[in-house]
Amino acid sequence: MEKAALISVYDKKGVVELADFLTKKGYKIISTGSTARLLKQNNIDVIEVENYTGFEEMLDGRVKTLHPKIHGGILFVRDNQKHKETVEKLGIYSIDVVVVNLYPFEEVAKKTSDEHELIENIDIGGPTLLRAAAKNYQDVLVVCDPDDYEFVINNFNSIDINTRREFAIKVFAKTSYYDGLIAKKLSGNSIKKQMGLAFSVVSKLRYGENSHQEAFFAKDPLQAGLPELIQLNGKELSYNNLLDIDVAYRIMLEFEPTTCVIIKHNTPCGVATSHSLTQAYLNALNCDPVSAFGGIIGVNETVDEELAKLIVERFYEVIVAFDYTQEAVDILKTKKNLRVIKVGKHLEKFYEIRSVVGGYLIQQNDDKIIEKYEVVSKKQPTQQQIEDLIFAFHVAKFAKSNAVVYAKDKKTLAIGAGQTSRVDSAKFAIERAKQLNIDLKGCVMASDGFFPFRDSVDEAVKVGVEAIIEPGGSIRDKEVIEAADEHGIALLFSGIRHFRH
């Protein structure tokens, strides 16, 4: 029985050299369309699929390799006598090598949402050939990646069943990824009952949250975001760095005015909006300069020389911004370990996926902003208080629940987060402010969730809070409103909750 290699590729890189190698190894080359033409132009003997099968391409090339003489030659079990007799009787070659890569659906999907163009770039024959060959990896070598051609050429005589199995696994991962892309794009990024998760690994990280945990950084191929970051200086990014950068990045996108945020352990320890970038940084830092040590700075502007000089005076792990002046980069590089990260502005809805034991939790990202609010107290807030309340509520959205934020003049004064009781968060932030000699008199307060009791209001007024915003919706809302009226402060209900676990 004559042995053959089937070669049909969209990406032609290296295919001539591989085909020439296989020819010299005694394989007949079966090929299709543009691949066959390229090989012939390079003086490689090729049997075109239609001549082999006796069935011409049809439907503008949609049907080429879907034929028993192709798939029979791939799928028959070599040590099964009945299988061998069948293929010999039908004059089928033993197709022992399959080299296929796919139509560029991913590249097209990034450029267009035109349904016709997308559909025409959905490969049918390619995945079918790859999956058939991968299923029969015990007898067939399947190669789906041009980057593997050199390995195949250099190690062909020593390729064993274990190597063929690894190549087969790569195929199933590739076709799963490919189908996941198609499902995601055509569904408009909505969630269906059954879906494959398409991602590509950007890098392997040194370790995860702890040194004994393996970790990777992967990207969603159809969505821009952090995997496109550009690192201008510093050590390799860690798993924890990336978690913190993610929070900083979300806050950078949340605020349109010039804003600086300092993140520590995945929660903000200082946020400020100001007319100047330097002032925004100083205001954010003053909220909690102790916690800021070793933190991550996020800036939604271009970092200039003035800010860079201030940043290098202290120890930070990372600074992330939309851009930097060259003078700023030069200054920041004097801290050789400081990771200097540049990111693009990409704000769109997406689904967050979180693993639990044996499953996943999936939710749409929290992109909700305050569109309206209700003043439920007798006391009416001033315009400045309203602006500060909205600012504080936006910050609370990114602090770990239970989150309470005290703010004034669009800068945080104290943040309480991650406590198991809301009043404990309120008290923690107050105590932290006292430790840092921060005066809370005349500030506002925001809570990411409703107050289950009036106790948080009572604690707030003790330190001079004059206005509060919270979602409302508690069975004790009346009690909380009465507390606000009793103390003569303004109370707003946002109607929006921003839990972050």
For residues 215 and 201, the answer to whether their CB atoms sit within 8 Å is: no
| Sequence spans of domains, the chain | 3-186, 226-342, 374-493
- When pLDDT is averaged across residues 102-115 and rounded to a whole number, the result is 88
> What CATH superfamily is the domain 374-493?
AICAR transformylase, duplication domain (3.40.140.20)
pLDDT score at 481: 96
Terminal Cα-to-Cα distance of the chain (whole angstroms): 63
Which of left, alpha, beta for 458 (phi over 0: left; psi -120 to 50: alpha)?
A: alpha
Nearest to 65 by CA among 104, 107, 95, 41: 95
State pLDDT tens for residues 234-258.
999 999 999 999 999 999 999 999 9
Nearest to 267 by CA among 292, 247, 288: 247
Least confident span in 8-12, 118-122, 162-166: 118-122
For residues 74 and 133, the answer to whether their CB atoms sit within 8 Å is: yes
Which of left, alpha, beta for 260 (phi over 0: left; psi -120 to 50: alpha)?
A: beta
Q: Do domains 3-186 and 374-493 have the same CATH topology?
A: no
The pTM score is: 0.85
> What CATH superfamily is the domain 3-186?
Methylglyoxal synthase-like domain (3.40.50.1380)
Q: Dihedral of the CA atoms 10, 14, 18, 23 (nearest 10)?
A: 80
For residues 178 and 43, the answer to whether their CB atoms sit within 8 Å is: no
> Confidence class of residue 61 from pLDDT cuts 50, 70 and 90?
low
Residue 343 CB contacts under 8 Å (≥ 6 apart), including other chains: 226, 228, 229, 230, 249, 252, 320, 321, 322
- Domain 226-342 class? alpha beta
State pLDDT tens for residues 369-412.
888 899 999 999 999 999 999 999 999 999 999 999 999 999 99
The tokens describing 356, both together, are: 């639990």
Active site residues: 135, 265
For residues 472 and 461, the answer to whether their CB atoms sit within 8 Å is: no
